[in-house]
Amino acid sequence: MRIFHPIIEEVRRFIDQKRKDDTPYSESIVPGNIAWPSAERPEVILKRDLALELGSPETASVSFLLWTSDLKRIHDRRLTLIGPDITDTKASGLPLGKIVMVGVEGFDENNAYERNTEIYLKKFDLALKGVMLKSASHYMAEWLRINREAMDSGISFLHLAGGLMDNYLSLPYVKTVEMVVVTSSKEDVNALYDMGNRSARTIRAMNKMINEMSFDCATCEFQDLCEEADELRDLREKMA
């Protein structure tokens, strides 16, 4: 299934533009053996122990998931970082944008919604020392807290991405994983919001067609998505 291809292409254009700007930019291949000490349970980091907040309610935060059955479209284990890394800033807070793009096999209209949910929930399996994650899926937001000990020990997005990628790849139908992290500015992070919103609406549109068997385009709130995504339109016609 390739329902997210228009959004993936828009993410690529965003990355290309930031590469041409003066924005701090880096690309890395995350090694499979990179590790950060695990915590027995999700960490709780209080203000007195806090070194850095990313994506807090006082700044911008956007996080979303995209997938495709075209594995060549995903650069496996690539981390693109737009903005400063965790230990490259003296600020106490940064905005946070995070895009996870995965290459999958065996997706169809009967299992795609459930598997999308399984992939999304995998991030909550990651428990690292000195890192606290809070998520508000309704607002497509994530809030990371890093404590002083982790900061002093040199934690980076390579460590976080490595742990997350390993978790995603533990699912048998996930074959490749790529991540994009944006910390450069509120404006850059907020520029991702429309892409994330369309990704969430795309999943809801597919779920509506399958579970509600609703094909009345004239009254459907997702009509604009079907006009953009050929596969959604083809799915509707096939099911109708």
pLDDT in tens, 208-217: 766 665 556 5
Q: How close are the terminal C-alpha atoms of the chain, in Å?
A: 18
Provide the whole-model pTM.
Answer: 0.89
Tokens describing residue 67: 């997938």
**If we measure between CA atoms, which residue out of 186, 151, 160 comes closest to residue 50?**
151
Residue 222 reports pLDDT greater than 70: no
Contact 98, 180 (CB under 8 A): yes
Cα(196)–Cα(201) distance, integer angstroms? 9
Cα(110)–Cα(141) distance, integer angstroms? 28
Residue 153 reports pLDDT greater than 80: yes
Q: Residue 139's pLDDT is what?
A: 78
Tokens describing residue 201: 């609406």
Residue 219 reports pLDDT greater than 80: no
Contact 83, 183 (CB under 8 A): yes
Contact 124, 164 (CB under 8 A): no
Q: Residue 211's pLDDT is what?
A: 65
Residue 151 reports pLDDT greater than 70: yes
